[in-house]
Amino acid sequence: MLMKYQQILEEIHKEVVPLLGDGKVADYIPELAKVDPGKFGIYLLFLNEEAYYIGDAHEKFSIQSISKVFMLALTVAHLGEKVYERVNVEPSGDPFNSLVQLEYECGIPRNPFINSGALVITDLMISHLNNPKEELLSFIRELVGQEDICYNETIAASEKACGFKNAAMVNLMKSFGNIKNDVEEVLDLYFDFCSIEMNCNELARAFRVFANHGKGVIDAKRYITESQFKRMTAIMQTCGFYDEAGEFAFRVGLPGKSGVGGGIAAILPGEYSIVVWSPGLNPKGNSLAGMKALELFTTKTGTSIF
Amino acid sequence: MLMKYQQILEEIHKEVVPLLGDGKVADYIPELAKVDPGKFGIYLLFLNEEAYYIGDAHEKFSIQSISKVFMLALTVAHLGEKVYERVNVEPSGDPFNSLVQLEYECGIPRNPFINSGALVITDLMISHLNNPKEELLSFIRELVGQEDICYNETIAASEKACGFKNAAMVNLMKSFGNIKNDVEEVLDLYFDFCSIEMNCNELARAFRVFANHGKGVIDAKRYITESQFKRMTAIMQTCGFYDEAGEFAFRVGLPGKSGVGGGIAAILPGEYSIVVWSPGLNPKGNSLAGMKALELFTTKTGTSIF
Amino acid sequence: MLMKYQQILEEIHKEVVPLLGDGKVADYIPELAKVDPGKFGIYLLFLNEEAYYIGDAHEKFSIQSISKVFMLALTVAHLGEKVYERVNVEPSGDPFNSLVQLEYECGIPRNPFINSGALVITDLMISHLNNPKEELLSFIRELVGQEDICYNETIAASEKACGFKNAAMVNLMKSFGNIKNDVEEVLDLYFDFCSIEMNCNELARAFRVFANHGKGVIDAKRYITESQFKRMTAIMQTCGFYDEAGEFAFRVGLPGKSGVGGGIAAILPGEYSIVVWSPGLNPKGNSLAGMKALELFTTKTGTSIF
Amino acid sequence: MLMKYQQILEEIHKEVVPLLGDGKVADYIPELAKVDPGKFGIYLLFLNEEAYYIGDAHEKFSIQSISKVFMLALTVAHLGEKVYERVNVEPSGDPFNSLVQLEYECGIPRNPFINSGALVITDLMISHLNNPKEELLSFIRELVGQEDICYNETIAASEKACGFKNAAMVNLMKSFGNIKNDVEEVLDLYFDFCSIEMNCNELARAFRVFANHGKGVIDAKRYITESQFKRMTAIMQTCGFYDEAGEFAFRVGLPGKSGVGGGIAAILPGEYSIVVWSPGLNPKGNSLAGMKALELFTTKTGTSIF
């Protein structure tokens, strides 16, 4: 069995290598543009501790929007369902940072995984946590079971310096009353959150908690309730991949979340977590080789939620 | 085991009875407005032939948009993936019959389960089938294994007489070149398709083929390929419930399709199909008691794709 | 004085000849695409009967949207201000045939000079006139003082065969209840109205009645009231040139109306009417040489409403 | 003659007094909400020095968006037509501070009299003037011929504290590259500009320069060129009244600009400037009694550009 999964990862590796030059590394953030487009890694982690990996699975990268999953989990753990009074749970159907939807729907973002929604989550964290910046890191470190997970201040500063569309969104939501704190504070913290760096192994350990319905595999601690897990998984399924949720559901069939750093973290509830990283993006903003690798994985293993 | 499911349906029945007055029967189609809002039925059908039902599970109702699933299945069975050159596969994020998206995306509908998308499917059926009106009925009859499934001409005429928004969409798409046939012909056929009448039992038998990955349970005939099944299921999951796909994924967690006649058909791939009917709708256009019943069902049985 | 104006027209003619190849003849209507792009004419007609012209000022062309002015005038003459309960009077700020505005503003067009607004006017004419098709022609013939003004059935048929965006709009407005008659009847009549053919001389005579505040210069008949004239002139000023009302107000400074046939009719209230025709259009859909000619005319004569 | 105009103003005063309670004082800026809704004044100033006034014509009020006219005039005086590469000249057809247009038109505002457009003008002033804050005041003081015209720091601070929609717009435009300076600097200066206080008499003197085609009546200085005057007047005509340009053109027929402080300044080029002030606004954001007063004035005097 062990051989089988390792062999599958090796086959996948061979098949995606030719694709590594096809994607386009995110260049709107100068710091991200410096990443080597030839990087590729997978980490597969089962609830029963079996683990398989290949490639650059232990090299840190900017998790970017994948942090939105941790932000949501920590916030619902504190506040429960009332989070969803401030942000909706439906797919957006628009490019991931559109203002139009926000204006027509009176400042209520469509879901917590688009930028506007994550900005509202950030605002909630400022209102209800003592030290959200520290607490998010602590939360992730606890999920992973490892201390050296940090923000990258250079990346955060780089994003702040060009994050005008996010600033537009947070100000628009403030004009509708759906941001309670100072807009600069919200933006600063949001960009910090996006700048977290982890490797495939660390992300796989963190997401395994979600694959285990919100309960730690090793510490057996319940991080989020069964119902909160279910809600979060549904949001990952329908909203986790920018404007490609349908395509991802078809090709991969796992709930998950991608980031413009080229990472994708996904789960098969009750079974495993899997994380791929490849910095080249497709036109919709998802890792090109990463999506292909996950598609090959679920096809070869015959596992998917469907 | 048999007792268990029957008992669950009975419990659900009791719990939803108080909700039967809360929804609002669709009244934009005069014929639909006449339906008794107190109706409620469930039919649950396993691949292994076990079957359970309760209430008005053998009374026919207007399946309305549920027919979009049959339309899509028949069309991809004939044309394969090239269907998706004319209609996208992503959630819409807008009210189910919005023109704005269509105008900004140059006449390409977001997915085949919104009205505009189903109109394109209808157009494809006219272009590529000999007698699409007859063939869709034959296809459904074969899936069900029963002959007496028919269009309701009164309902179709009733919809035609007030279907101006659909007419607007088909004309707009025609202006973009994404409708090839005569607009009146497309509209007429589309309204016929919406007017099909089936009961919970019949729908459950038809959807069981989809639960069986596109292969007939009794006749063992392959209606759609494994890949076509996967695509269709992904679309049901992300786009099957108007602007409530995320809510449905959370509360119920099954791929499916609803109609304004108050029906909802859903599947757990590899396990069962389940159909509920209750004509009162919630503000998003899905059966209010139907959604509750399915939520209770997946909770009580612990089954969901997640 | 007579010399002066004739000389000005001659100078203008010389200056615009090099521009005649720069515009693009409307080609979305096959019949219009056949027009010679080298055509150019001006007719200038004063209230005091002085008249000057140059070029192809006596050759008929398809007046297209210029007919919207006659449609509005005839309808307000019959129904008064209540016309403006069904159509607004503000500039649209969008491409001239957008559906987005119509959907967000619940089927109420922004003004009577965009296609959607003129379709509502057509609907009002069907509801309130005995024979609108005949009566509009009679109205124009009376304004001009000449009988041989007709519809061009070939042009009307040509537009009907490709008028899907107009069909989309009329159906959308019907869905909002802002079209009372049969959509096919409205569309047919609308396309007839667009197909009227007149020459610069005839249009100048008709528009002179508007320059004379709605009162015939020769027959002294009051066609529209002073207040109706004021309203119509304001609409021509702010909405008469698709998405170029501001540019036209600056460069020309006269209220008027253009058509995709390449005609532009304008007035200086109390002074004169002026009509230019040149089939090549600029990217906004207004006659390229026609706008230049009118700009030169108001500059050289020092006349403009400002 | 002198009696006539004074008498007209007195008649108007009587007629509008009953309307003074009907409007709604702008309350989104706390400082503005404190203004007495019973205030009303008119100042009428002819090129030939004749002057008439009534009511509170010498009481200062917050000119708000009327300052956009001065901002545009000063900027085109410095930079000429190239201003219009950064801001368009067409009516917007949307509520006065909409983001949708801005997003679809890639950060180019529709015209310099909506907030987004004035923010671009502010940005241009920062880039090209040495001390724009001082220079705008100097410019206005010179137009008026009077020194005591100032910013109201309390009003500016009040607007800054709730100006999130403007912040959203400036950030959005920055994301498209159409704001060159620091967004905070642009916003601060913009809110300063909005906070200028003047009375009807002072505004009438300043606008008389525009009524005189951009040339000072007393100092004979040319402030803007004839062509710049023509452009600015066209923009006032088509874009000066939020989403009521068409209504204003009909009812009043003069180019002008209104502000949410309840002021309206208008001109009849070559004849006079006229300023009214009444703080109660209609639902479109224009002074309710002010519009009525101007309508009565142009009707009673038979003057309008049409």
Is the Cβ of A228 closer than 8 Å to some Cβ of chain B? no
Residue D1 has pLDDT above 70, yes or no: no
Please give the tally of structural domains in chain B: 2
From the list C219, C65, C200, the residue with the least C-alpha distance to C142 is C219
How many CB pairs lie under 8 A apart between chains C and D?
Answer: 93
Q: How far, CA to CA in Å, does B261 sit from each of B199, B265, B275, B282, C103? A: 11, 12, 13, 12, 25
Q: Which domain holds residue D9?
A: 2-64+197-301
Task: With CA atoms as reference, report the closest residue to A75 among A117, A26, A115.
Answer: A117
Q: What is the pLDDT of residue C32?
A: 87
Specify whether the CB–CB gap between B240 and B256 falls below 8 A. Answer: yes
Q: And the tokens for A43?
A: 């980490």
| C41-46 and A272-277 beta bridge pairing | unpaired
If asked whether residues A52 and A72 sit together in one domain, one would say: no
Nearest 5 degrees, angle CA D71-CA D73-CA D78?
Answer: 95
Flag if D167 and A169 touch (Cβ within 8 Å): no
**pLDDT tens readout for residues D202-227:** 999 999 999 999 999 999 999 999 99
Q: Are strands C41-46 and C24-25 parallel, antiparallel or unpaired?
A: unpaired
Q: At D114, list the tokens.
A: 């909506």
pLDDT tens for each residue of C86-117? 999 999 876 645 787 888 888 999 999 999 99
A130 and A279 assigned to the same domain: no
Q: Inter-chain contact A171–D174, Cβ cutoff 8 Å?
A: no
Q: Which residues of chain B lie closer than 8 angstroms to A244, CB-CB?
A: 90
A206 and A176 in a common domain = no
pLDDT band at C82 (very low <50, low <70, confident <90, very high): very high
Question: Is the model's pLDDT at C305 over the cut of 80?
Answer: no
Q: What pLDDT score was predicted for residue B303?
A: 81
Distance between start and end Cα atoms, chain D: 23
Is residue A305 a part of any domain in this protein? no
Same domain, B58 and B76: no
pLDDT tens by residue, D34-80: 999 999 999 999 999 999 999 999 999 999 999 999 999 999 999 99
The mean pLDDT value for B89-116 works out to 84
Which of D194, D209, D237 lies at the terminal end of a domain, its last residue?
D194
CB contact under 8 A, B237 and A306: yes
The answer on B184 and B72 residing in a single domain is yes
Mean pLDDT (chain B) is 94
Residue B96 has a pLDDT of 47
Annotated ligand binding at C242? The verdict is: yes
> What pLDDT shows up at residue D247?
93
Phi and psi angles of residue D283, each rounded to the nearest 5 degrees, phi first: -60, -20
**What is the distance between the alpha carbons of residues B141 and C76, in angstroms, rounded to a whole number?**
57
| Residue A306 is assigned to a structural domain of this protein | no
Annotated binding-site residue? C260? yes
C135 is in an annotated binding site: no
Q: Do A100 and D100 touch (CB under 8 A)?
A: yes
pLDDT of residue B21: 86
- Judge whether D73 lies within some domain: yes
How many Cβ pairs closer than 8 A exist between chain B and C? 51
User: Which residues have C-beta within 8 Å of that of residue C104, sequence separation ≥ 6?
Assistant: A104, B100
What mean pLDDT is reported for chain C? 94
Amino acid sitting at position B146: Q
According to the model, what pLDDT value does residue A96 have?
A: 47
What's the CA gap between D213 and D33, in Å, rounded? 35
Rounded-to-integer distance, Cα A264 and Cα A257, Å: 6
Residue of chain D whose alpha carbon sits nearest to that of C212: D306
Q: Which residue has the tokens 């679809």?
A: D104
User: What distance in Å separates the CA atoms of residue D77 and residue D85, rounded to the nearest whole number?
Assistant: 15
Q: Average pLDDT for residues C214-221, to the nearest whole number? A: 95
Q: Is B97 annotated as a binding residue?
A: no
CB-nearest to A172 from D104, D164, D175 is D164
Exposed e or buried b per residue across A85-112, where buried means at least 16 C-beta atoms within 10 angstroms of its C-beta: ebbbbbbbbbebbbbbbbbeeebbbbbb
Mean pLDDT calculated for residue range A116-124: 97
Instruction: Provide φ and ψ at D41, rounded to 5°.
Output: -150, 150
Could you report the per-residue pLDDT of B254-284, keeping only the tens digit for each? Answer: 999 999 999 999 999 999 999 999 999 999 9
Question: What average pLDDT does the segment C48-66 reach?
Answer: 97
Average pLDDT on B56-77 reads 98
Residue whose tokens read 């007489």: B161
Q: Please give the Cα distance from B169 to B109 (Å, whole number).
A: 10
Q: Which of B194, B213, B238 is the last residue of a domain?
A: B194
Contact D167 A167 (CB under 8 A): yes
In this structure, the answer to whether residues B18 and B85 fall within a common structural domain is no
Same domain, yes or no: B96 and B122: yes
Residue C143, pLDDT above cutoff 70: yes
Q: D133: domain CATH number?
A: 3.40.710.10
Using CB atoms and an 8 Å cut-off, which of residues 87-116 of chain C contact chain B? 98-100, 103-104
Distance CA B59, CA A304 (A): 35
- B145: helix, strand or coil: coil
Whether residue D79 is found in the same domain as residue D123: yes
Residue in D104, D165, D171 closest to A175 by CB: D165
Please tell me which of the candidates C100, C104, C175 has its beta carbon nearest to residue B164.
C175
Range of weakest confidence among A102-116, C36-50, C201-215: A102-116
Whether B90 has a binding-site annotation, put simply, is: no
Question: D touches which chains (3+ CB pairs under 8 A)?
Answer: A, C
Q: What is the pTM of this model?
A: 0.92
Burial of B146 per CB tally in 10 Å (0-12, 13-18, 19+): middle
* D83 and D165 belong to one structural domain: yes
Among C233, C250, C255, whose Cβ lies nearest the Cβ of D89? C250
Average pLDDT, whole number, for chain D?
94
Cα atoms in the Cβ-side hemisphere of radius 13 Å centred on D54: 18
Amino acid at C204: A
Given C138, C164, C194, the domain boundary residue is: C194
Q: How confident is the model at residue A282 (pLDDT cuts 50, 70, 90)?
A: very high
In a domain, B87, yes or no: yes
Residue-wise pLDDT for B154-182, tens only, equals 999 999 988 999 999 999 999 999 999 99
Give domain status of residue B206, yes or no: yes
**D237 and D155 housed in the same domain:** no
Nearest-Cα distance to chain A for D275, in Å, is 32
Question: How far is CA D118 from each of CA D124, D229, D263, D271, rounded to the nearest angstrom?
Answer: 10, 18, 18, 28
What is the reported pLDDT for C3?
58
pLDDT tens per residue, range C162-184: 899 999 999 999 999 999 999 99
DSSP string, B185-210: HHHHHHHHHHT-EE-HHHHHHHHHHH
Cβ–Cβ gap C92/D92 under 8 Å: no
Q: Is C167 close to B171, i.e. CB distance below 8 A?
A: yes
Which chains are within 8 Å of B by 3+ CB pairs?
A: A, C
Task: Summarize the confidence of residues A44-63 as an average pLDDT.
Answer: 97
Mean pLDDT of C215-242: 94
The three-state secondary structure class of D41 is strand
Evaluate whether residue D306 is within a structural domain. Answer: no
B90 lies in the same domain as B187: yes
Q: Which of C100-104, D147-151, D234-238 has the lowest mean pLDDT?
A: C100-104
Same structural domain for residues B159 and B77? yes
- Cβ(D120)–Cβ(D109) under 8 Å? yes
Is residue B291 a contact partner of residue B252, using CB atoms and an 8 Å limit?
yes
Q: Looking at residues D136-162, what average pLDDT do you find?
A: 95
